[in-house]
Structure 1
Amino acid sequence: MNGTDRKFLAYLDELHIITILLPLSYHGGVSSSFYLVNESEKCPLDIIAKSEIGGHHKYICRFSGDYFFEKQYWVVDEKEGKTDLQIGAVIRTESFDEKFYYEGNDLGVTLFADETLFKLWAPTAIQVKLKMTPPESSFSEIIKLKRGDRGIWSVMVARNLELYHYSFLVLINQEWREAVDPYVKAVTVNGELGVVVKPDSPPRPRPNLPPLENPVDAVIYETHIRDFSIHPHSGIKNKGLYLGAGELHTKGKDDEPTGLSYVKDLGITHLEFLPFHDYAGVDEMTSNKDYNWGYNPLHFNAPEGSYSTNPSDPYTRIKELKELINRVHESGLRVIMDVVYNHVFIREDSPFEKIVPGYYFRHNELGLPSNGTGVGNDIASERKMVRKFIIDSIRYWMEEYHIDGFRFDLMGILDVETMREVRKTCDSMEEGILVLGEGWNLNTPLPTEQKATIANQAKIPQIAQFNDKFRDAIKGSTFNILDKGYALGNEHYLDAALEVITGSIGFKKRNLRLFNEPTQSVNYVECHDNHTLWDKLQSCLPHVDDTIRAQFHRLATGMVLLSQGIPFLHSGQEFFRTKQGEGNSYCAPDKINQLDWERKSQFIDNVNYIKGLIEIRQAIPCFRMRTSDEIRSNIRSLPSSSPILACTYQMVHDEVILIINPSTREQGYTLPKGDWSILVDKNQAGIYSKGVLHGGDVKIQPISLNVLLKK
């Protein structure tokens, strides 16, 4: 029976509740009785409510006894009219979750020496078949799967099917659908089919990296695999590819390091890559024609093919991604993976929706897919098998690829319990794994108290969040390009600046507290989203020359690096990265998005300044205190007149003063008694003294960051 044959509609909305819609054009939409029928039984339905809605009479009916999802049911009315019972809102009930939650760790494909096991969670399917095709062949074989407990369908094929292409055929609501395995780990070009592959055997040992004792010891550097190497003068051979991002000892036109060797020398600890799971938006066979950031998820456990030297070979992308990660580890750095579990590219086309329609996504009060993400769908992470998928995926990337951290895109869409489980899973596998995310409060139908947002930071204390208060207080509003923050000379942000550089813990004003601990705050003024800081400065300060803009830029970046919390840099920020004024470059060409290594040469003085600040942060622990108690005990705000911001940091053997002057005028200041070594001024930064200031009246240079160490 197809949709055009149905005289009326019937949906299973709870385990014992059926909703029936009779069009007014069908016997006036009136029936006094209904029956639930399968091959062997006929059960009367109790009508418990009736209403008129949209040209239909709506009947809510209850039935007794068990419902067997593996069987096909029909609803018959008093006139012997008949329709198939479709799976409705029942899949979004807690009772459905309890009934079908599967704890096993073997979903997807398991390849043995002489056998291949396929398992799929599809509790609402009436039939499931496996479609498999040998490599280099167009002949497909169809095999039926057997249904087991918890809605698991499986088949053991008595052959080693390595490199076979495969998909599942599922029959739901009288309709056959073909879908890629949600747990697929390798895919054909553009993710059209799954591919059977074997994991590393034996598994590669995890890298022997120095311990990350605390999240605030990290310095994160965000980049995009293509941007990182694609510039014509990057000196990198494999431009735009996994292998290129992992090349060592590359040099630019100035014969100085570029790429991975450059960022290692810069002093960062973590390289964060924009998404490299399989995504839409780039044709993998002609990848130079397209560009995309990667926030269009297709397959969450398979690497993207456009960064591979051979997208047609499923193993190549896997091996080359592993080689990139290995090279980063060999350089003493860690890899953070940007993960996009909050939505899929197109809901209707996703394996989730095809295999268990309606389960994996949130729906609003009208029964329509919600859209807090702004892309047409929100992942329902609060459901047990959705949460399980996310946890299984995190575990897989850690086990198979040795990922060292995860950056959750639009984390506020996800629920608190899922993020707690993510944190717990990471901790059970490896120490020092960073978990951070965008805790924005988005309009998704999840109770406010369950959202993994900044407002609920106390419920997920071991997860760091991007600090938009820091961003906007220091550089000015991201969404008003003309708004200037404290570091751009706006002294109205002075109090806010003090709060955010001390970890956003409510240092002086408890009502301004954003986080309980500094380890929760990711401090930034620029990332891949929105205008670069340089481009914002071009708009904010249209009548000043680039020398002044560079000083404001240096000050804002310096405040990121010397604030309590976790510093986050956008690649190229240290050499005034520009996207030519483009504020949303997610699919812009390389000339907009590329990391311009010639700017690194042009602005090498600023690069060295930022390198010096990173060196100071790592050498002097007062800039990375572990707890809010430590901050409150050891930092004091010094007397100063606006716009000057001054703090003293007490350490066991030393005392440090931080003085910031964001104005374009020299400012007078009275230093405490003593001799103060200059580690940072507006021109130089590093752990070695640049001179000495003596206590008393001094002049603070305009647009300057100053760090003084008591001798």
Structure 2
Amino acid sequence: MIAIERKFNAYLDQVKLITVLLPYSYFEGTSNEFRLKGEGVNLPLAIQEKVFLEHAVKYICFSSVRPEIGKSYSVTDEHGGETDLQIGAVIRTDEFDEEYFYGGEDLGASYSQGKTIFKLWAPTAAKVKLKLFQSSEASHELISMKRLDKGVWSIEVDRDLELYRYSFLLCINLEWREAVDPYATALTVNGEYGVVIDPAKTKTSIAESPSLENPVDAIIYEVHIRDLMSHPNSGATRKGTYLGGAERGTKSAKGIETGLSYIKSLGITHVEFLPFHDFEGVDELDRHSTYNWGYNPVHYNTPDGSYATDPEDPYNRIQELKQLITAVHREGLGVIMDVVYNHVYIRETSPFEKIVPGYYFRHNEHGLPSNGTGVGNDIASERLMARKYIIDSVLYWLKEYHLDGFRFDLMGILDVETMNAVRKAVDTVNRNILIIGEGWDLNTPLPPDQKANIANQAKLPDIGQFNDWFRDSIKGSTFNIYDKGYAIGNERYLEAAKQVMAGSIGIAKRKNGLFLQPVQSVNYIESHDNHTLWDKLKICSPDHDEAILKKQHRLATAMVLLAQGIPFLHSGQEFFRTKNGVGNSYRSPDEINWLDWDLRDDNLENVEYIKGLIGIRVGNKAFRLPDSEKIREQMSFLPLPAPLIGLKLMSPGEGDWEKIIVLINPSMEQKLADFTEHARWNILADNEKASPKPFRHIEGDKVLLEPCSLLVAAI
């Protein structure tokens, strides 16, 4: 195809609406007529409106015929000038979505020993070719693909293509572009090409996943694969890799267990791994030279090679990730995958933009890409094929890698219908799968009532949301490091602290909460983002003795574990994890990000305390009430003076205790608290120890609370 020199431009912006832009440098931007030519058509366009822009005149024209997308047309003007009709904003119309939606489950490369079928959805392309080669790109072959219905292109290659490299070449708007298959399940090193693999060669033995009666039974522990075992004293041989994370029997310098067996010993139910789909930011051939959290997604359906022992072998990363997941399952733990469907690393170079330009990303009222994510692009999840891609990808990971949950990064960018469709699709496979996400309200062109954010939680009943109200009430504002929360002695957060301890569903004086049900509340005070709690404490209370800071840290973490809802811990939180004051360590070196097992060994007393609190939660359903009605029935507040909080939990009918009292004193002074009744109280936790079994008793109706501490008593 020969490109036409464009002195002006014409775009198909709706199915019968053509926008022509004439620059002032071209006949002063004037033309009294335009014609549409091509595919047996030679018809005048009706000029409906003329808009004077800074550098050009925009003519909005109506066509009496509907140009067929994927075929070639040109537009001429009264001066004899001619330009090709480019695909414009029509791809973002409902008509386009409805006409070209493809519901098949066979996009990508479908391999068998005798043949491989390639299918690609590219409705705006005029031509598509498959680029195919074994090892040397110089010897590649190009095979023309056939256009089918719904804008799908297909080719069947009748020979064994195992380990062949491939990409697609597309001619769109008279320009050729090359793209990796967005449905590729295997890649060459650093994701340059897709690779055809035999899925049968990646199968592994399946260890049984944990089963939960209710999502509030989960206790989530967030880990970065590289951080987990990179430390010199992690005891792992293959540090910073999938296999390093999977190693068993690892021990620290003091001979204390590390890795997955240590996490299991805490009482955790689910390990949430930061993104492990293919991402930019780490050279897979030189992974030690740079570090990245993984929130730079490039290819969504393939594991990243920077955690593999041999990233040049397309099978290696797949097999080793599956070994890690199996190792987690063998510890009786679930695996939650952190997924980043809200944006791509670079829009212009992503397969989505190269294959169907302008379709997969949101645009603002000026036609420019929106930036609610803050990284230059927002995935348009509301478009049918973008929604289908997200659902297909989630189901692929779920079925192929036997995952137990998904954490949606910046979920507020996505739309409600897509997230509910994901939930519905996942439920057809396993209703036990956890789905949680960051429901922040972000500035994207999606209508407010369609955003999958906390404000619309009533429309997302079975999806957990990270509770920033909990986070900021207990530790203080994340975005004002000097703001202190309730657990750090700020009485101003007292009433908010009560509400978030009750699952943020609205209790006592507050009839309406942040959420309808406790399963929607993911309670946390620190994660990979922002400062660790320890670093915040060091910065906002520089004059405090470390012993006091540790008490405050312990109290805040205890409130996460004893609140209604789903508790979430950042790895190392139980031993005062620090990043040396770095508030955004997404590309800081290993020395800042790794789990410091020496620090763990120095803080075993606190580790045991947190382990004891987890045991209390697991052993008593009163801390895991499954719905808001039961919380309102079985949980109440004791009439204690500020800043104390007293929670009374009645037994839901199971467990050893008829009644549990939780007393919290965030102040720096001893406080006398009233149990409100005289009894022989069994102590499960105090300022020094926590255990699911009582370790001492208190006789009477009052107790003296130590500074910055809690007490859990039961009868």
TM-score (norm 1): 0.98
Matched position secondary structure for 1:683: coil
Aligned-residue offset at 1:396: 0.2
- Give the Cα–Cα distance (whole angstroms) in 2 for the partners of residues 558 and 2 of structure 1: 69
Q: Map residues 41-190 of structure 1 onto 2, 5 A cutoff.
A: 41-135=41-135, 138-190=138-190
Deviation string 1:562-619 (CA, Å, 9 cap, x unpaired) is 0000000000000000000000000000110010001111000000000001111000
Task: Work out which of the residue numbers 685, 702, 714 in structure 2 matches 1:709.
Answer: 714
Aligned with 2:668 (options 649, 664, 669): 664
Q: Equivalences for 1:265-276 in 2 at 5 Å?
A: 265-276=265-276
How many residue pairs match? The answer is 710
Q: 1:696 deviation in Å?
A: 2.4
Does the Cα contact within 8 Å between 2:637 and 2:646 map onto a contact in 1?
A: yes
Once residues 2 and 544 of structure 1 are traced to their aligned partners in structure 2, the CA distance between those partners, rounded to angstroms, is 73
Q: Which residue of 1 aligns with 2:514?
A: 514
**Aligned: 1:209 with 2:209:** yes
Question: Partner of 1:403 in structure 2?
Answer: 403
Q: Secondary structure at the match of 2:668?
A: coil
Contact 1:199/1:400 (CA < 8 Å) preserved in 2?
Answer: no
Higher mean Cα deviation, 76-85 or 90-99?
76-85
- SS in structure 1 of the partner of residue 199 of structure 2: coil
Q: Distance in 1 between matches of 2:161 and 2:371?
A: 40
SS at match of 2:660: strand
Work out which of the residue numbers 703, 706, 711 in structure 2 matches 1:698: 703
Amino acid corresponding to residue 665 of structure 2 in structure 1:
N
Output the aligned Cα RMSD.
Answer: 1.3
**Residues 201 and 428 of structure 1: is their aligned pair in 2 closer, same or farther, counting only changes over 3 Å?**
farther
Matched, 1:356 2:341: no
- 1:423-442 alpha-carbon deviations (Å, 9 max, x no partner): 00111101310000000000
Q: CA deviation at 1:39?
A: 4.4
Q: Secondary structure at the match of 1:19?
A: strand
3-state SS of 1:200 partner: helix
Partner-residue secondary structure (3-state), 1:636: strand
1:635 is matched with 635
* Cα distance between partner residues in 1 of 2:456 and 2:92: 24
Aligned-residue offset at 1:56: 1.8
The correspondence of residues 392-471 of structure 1 with structure 2, limited to 5 A, is 392-471=392-471
Per-residue CA deviations over 1:410-462 (Å, capped at 9, x if unaligned) read 00000000000110011110131000000000000000000000000000110
- Paired letter, 2:217: D
For the residue of structure 2 that corresponds to 1:306, the secondary structure is helix
SS in 2 for 1:161: coil
The secondary structure found in structure 2 opposite 1:376 is coil
Equivalent position of 1:532 in the other structure: 532
CA distance in 2 between counterparts of 1:509 and 1:237 reads 56
- The 1-side partners of 2:584 and 2:52 are apart by 47
The answer to whether the Cα contact below 8 Å between 1:282 and 1:290 also exists between their aligned partners in 2 is: yes
1:194 is the counterpart of 2:198: no
Contact 1:123 1:150 in 2 (8 A): yes
In the alignment, residue 344 of structure 1 is paired with which amino acid? V
Report if the CA contact (8 A) 1:200-1:400 is conserved.
no
1:683 lines up with 2:688 in the alignment: yes
Partner SS state of residue 138, structure 1: helix
Distance 1:347 1:398 in 2: 26
Structure 1 residues 552 and 4: CA distance shift in structure 2, 3 A: farther
Does 2:346 match 1:346?
A: yes
**What corresponds to 1:476 in structure 2?**
476
- Displacement after TM superposition at 1:4 (Å): 8.8
Alpha-carbon separation, structure 2, partners of 1:169 and 1:76: 29
Cα distance, 1:27 vs structure 2: 1.9
The whole-number CA distance in structure 2 between the counterparts of 1:537 and 1:172 is: 55
Corresponding residue of 1:654: 658
- 1:129–1:145 contact (8 Å) kept in structure 2: yes
Task: Show structure 1 runs of 5+ residues with no match.
Answer: none
How far does residue 24 in structure 1 lie from its aligned partner after superposition? 2.1
Q: CA deviation at 1:69?
A: 1.6
Q: Which residue of 1 aligns with 2:383?
A: 383
Any idea what SS the aligned residue of 1:183 has? coil
Deviations 1:155-177 (A, max 9, x none): 00111211101100000011000
Tell me the residue number matched to 2:612.
Answer: 612
TM-score normalised according to structure 2 size: 0.98
- SS across alignment from 1:364: coil
| Aligned-partner SS, 2:200 | coil
For 1:70 and 1:483, locate their aligned partners in 2 and report how far apart those are by CA, in whole Å: 57
Shift of 1:65: 2.5
- What is the distance in 2 between the residues matched to 1:487 and 1:223? 25
Alpha carbons of structure 1 residues 512 and 544: separation in structure 2 relative to 1, 3 Å: farther
SS in 1 for 2:307: coil
The residue identity in structure 2 corresponding to 1:665 is: E
> How far did 1:234 drift?
0.3
Conservation of the 8 A alpha-carbon contact between 1:670 and 1:695: no
Q: What amino acid maps onto 1:76 in structure 2?
A: T
Runs of 4+ deviating beyond 6 Å: 1-4
C-alpha contact (below 8 Å) 1:303/1:321 kept by paired residues = yes
Give the residue type in structure 1 aligned to 2:660: V
Runs of 5+ consecutive residues of structure 2 not aligned to the other structure: none
The structural deviation recorded for 1:205 is 6.9
Q: Deviations over 1:312-360 (max 9, x none)?
A: 0010000000000011111100000000000000000000000100000
Q: Secondary structure at the match of 1:389?
A: helix
CA distance in 1, matches of 2:51, 2:535: 58
Amino acid at match of 1:688: K
Residues 499 and 512, structure 1, Cα contact 8 Å, conserved in 2: no
